[in-house]
Structures are given as C-alpha cells and as structure tokens.
C-alpha cells in the first residue's frame, strides 16, 4: 500500500465513523450492480410509505403509524441514474412490484419510499455528503423520501470543509445553484427542544461507498 492509499483509507474510515455518529448507515459494496440491488433490498425491507397529502391516483393501503393510508405500490426515485443503471434498477423494482421513477416526482409529493442521489464529494470530519440539487427531481428525491440513499465514491472524500473550499467557490461562480450538504437523516429540536428524526425529510440516510 502506498502512502497515498494509506491516507485515503484513513479519510474513508473517518468519514464512516463520523457519518455513523450522526445516525447515517454506511455501506461499502463491490460494484454498482450491488449498489442498485441494495436499493431494492432496502425498499423491500421497509414498511410502505404513508400518503401524507392528497394524491387521488395513488392506490391506498391500510393506515400506517400516523393513521394515514399507505401506498400499495412502493416508489423508488432515482433521477440521476444513467440509462443503463436505471434500466437495471427499474427491472429489479418491477420484479418486486415497486414503481421506479426518474422524473415527474412533483406528481408524488405525498411521499416516496426510497430516493437515490449521487454525492459530488464527501467531508470526513463531519460525515457529510455534498449533492448537486440544481434539478428539481433531484431535490425532491432527497426531500420527500422516507429513506435517502446517496452514492459516494471513496476517491471524492476530503478531510474537512476547508479542503473543499475551492469546489464550493466554483459552484458559487456557476450562478444560481442548489448545493446541499447532508449529514445524517433529517432531524430537528424545534419542538420543545426535543430531538425528532424525519420531521423535515428522510427518516434514514444510507451512504453507499463505491470504488472508482
């Protein structure tokens, strides 16, 4: 192992530890195919999402924990996947009876089961993923899902925030952007200063670490 490989391994290990400290679930997989299968398995293992807003076209199931109707067909949204990966994921979802979407998420604002994003980079010191959310469907995939899955290549993980300053400046220089920094699932302590998870977004964050 070269010194550079040793440094990168340390950065990845730090990222994992810090991400898990803020309740993210970090997984390493051997291939993109395994990552796509992981998404399907996660969706299959969860309870169907509740329909939290009026969506007359959705087939409704029994009430969930909040006494809201659940979806009969679970939804996986992956707006950033290329054609080949989306075809693979869509086929695997179809075999399970799930709906797989790449666009049109505005029609499903009542909530989706799993949203998939691709991280631009990671920050080891805080276990943070940076996501380019310029496209509306990418923003929605990470906002209205119950479980958010982020693909992150190990080679894009940086030690700390100062080390990504130049990339942030470059994003700012491109004009109006929606750059999102994500550390763990959605959480807030606004309500009587009691920590609550999933109030403003996903209940779970899964970071899938990929090799180049």
**How buried is 197 (Cβ within 10 angstroms: 0-12 exposed, 13-18 middle, 19+ buried)?**
middle
Q: Is the pLDDT confidence value at 24 over 70? A: yes
**Which is nearest to 164 in space by CA: 208, 133, 128?**
128
186 vs 32, which has greater pLDDT? 32
89 vs 172, which has greater pLDDT? 89
37-93 pLDDT per residue, tens: 999 999 999 999 989 888 878 889 999 888 889 999 999 999 999 999 999 999 999
Where do the domains of the chain lie, and which CATH numbers do they carry?
3-210 (3.40.50.10420)
pLDDT at 6 (0 to 100): 56
Output phi, psi for 58, to 5 deg: -80, 135
120-141 pLDDT per residue, tens: 999 999 999 999 999 999 999 9
173 vs 164, which has greater pLDDT? 164
């Amino acid at each position: 192992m070269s010194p550079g490989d040793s440094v990168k391994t340390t950065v990845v290990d730090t990222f994992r530890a810090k991400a898990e400290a803020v309740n993210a679930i970090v997984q390493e997989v051997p291939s993109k195919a395994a990552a796509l299968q992981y998404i399907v398995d996660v969706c299959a293992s969860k309870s169907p999402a509740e329909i939290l807003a009026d969506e007359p076209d959705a087939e409704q199931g029994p009430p969930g924990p909040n006494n809201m109707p659940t979806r009969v067909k679970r939804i996986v949204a992956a707006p950033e996947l290329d054609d080949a990966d989306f075809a693979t994921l869509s086929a695997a979802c179809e075999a399970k009876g799930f709906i797989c979407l790449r666009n049109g998420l505005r029609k499903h604002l009542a909530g989706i089961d799993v949203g998939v994003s691709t991280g631009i980079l990671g920050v080891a010191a805080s276990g943070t993923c940076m996501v380019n959310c310029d496209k509306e469907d990418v923003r929605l995939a990470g906002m209205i899902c119950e479980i958010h899955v982020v693909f992150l290549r190990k080679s894009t993980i940086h030690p700390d925030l100062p080390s990504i300053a130049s990339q942030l400046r470059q994003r700012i220089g491109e004009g109006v952007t929606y750059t999102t920094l994500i550390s763990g699932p959605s959480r807030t302590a606004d309500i009587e200063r009691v920590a609550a998870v999933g109030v403003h977004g996903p209940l779970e964050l899964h970071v899938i670490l990929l090799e180049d």
